[in-house]
A and B are shown apart, each in its own frame.
Chain A
């Protein structure tokens, strides 16, 4: 059974960089059938997709966060990671990692159409505060 687990600091200072890692167990991150994604949820609010990565390193980012986000993958450790720079209090949230299914592949554009998320990690709360 595939499981994902987020890890990283629970407290980050404003203007610094938030760094989290997701460890995948029970399956290989190098599967050609999936991307691997990050989603966040501010306390008491809804869900926001941050970005996703393929085992090859190909990435898709939320345009609203793209300038501050870097997602990387380490297939030898079966992990992928998130870095979010220049954080503010608005970045305080529970951060989830999840397997990101592919909806389809567009032959004309060469882009994957990413789909739904399943399963999700348990999430980790990151608070931005001095």
Chain B
């Protein structure tokens, strides 16, 4: 099973700042089969990125994904108030597993 480790566990930033979230896999993720989700309290996760770098429909371009192999990054270029949430990565190259999440909180 591929284990995904997200860091940091919690990220404290201010609106307007740049956020960089990391997702590291225990082994190489084939074909960059990695997705990112945003989850707000009491809500279901929302797809942001698939294929490591493709934005889902309706996702603002301040969200971008990059990486390959075992190291992947979600970047939010300029934080908006509605971006403060928990973010999960998911790999689908070998079965399906999720990271433990990164909480993005307002500083």
Partner of B47, one of A48, A49, A103, A117: A117
A69 interface hit (Cβ, 8 Å) = no
Please report the total number of B residues contacting A with Cβ < 8 Å. 23
A120:B44 contact, CB within 8 angstroms: yes
Tell me the chain B residues, 59-107 only, with Cβ under 8 Å from chain A: 88, 90, 92-93, 95-101
Alpha-carbon distance A112/B81, docked complex (angstroms): 39
Q: Which residues on B sit within 8 Å (CB–CB) of A123? A: 44
Please report the total number of A residues contacting B with Cβ < 8 Å. 23
Interchain Cβ contacts within 8 Å, total number: 60
B92:A48 contact, CB within 8 angstroms: no
Chain B interface, >50% SS class: loop
Q: Which residues on A sit within 8 Å (CB–CB) of B46? A: 119-120
B31 interface hit (Cβ, 8 Å) = yes
Interface residues of B (CB under 8 A from A): 1, 31, 33, 35, 37, 43-47, 50, 56, 88, 90, 92-93, 95-101
Interface residues of A (CB under 8 A from B): 46-49, 60, 62-63, 96, 98, 101, 103-104, 113-123
Q: Which 8 A-B pairs have the closest CB atoms?
A: A120-B44, A118-B47, A49-B96, A116-B35, A47-B98, A116-B50, A46-B100, A115-B92
- 27 residue pairs of the A-B complex, CB under 8 angstroms, read A46-B98, A46-B101, A48-B98, A49-B95, A49-B97, A60-B95, A62-B96, A63-B1, A103-B33, A104-B31, A113-B92, A113-B93, A114-B92, A115-B92, A116-B35, A116-B47, A116-B50, A116-B92, A117-B37, A117-B90, A118-B47, A118-B50, A119-B47, A120-B45, A121-B44, A122-B43, A123-B44
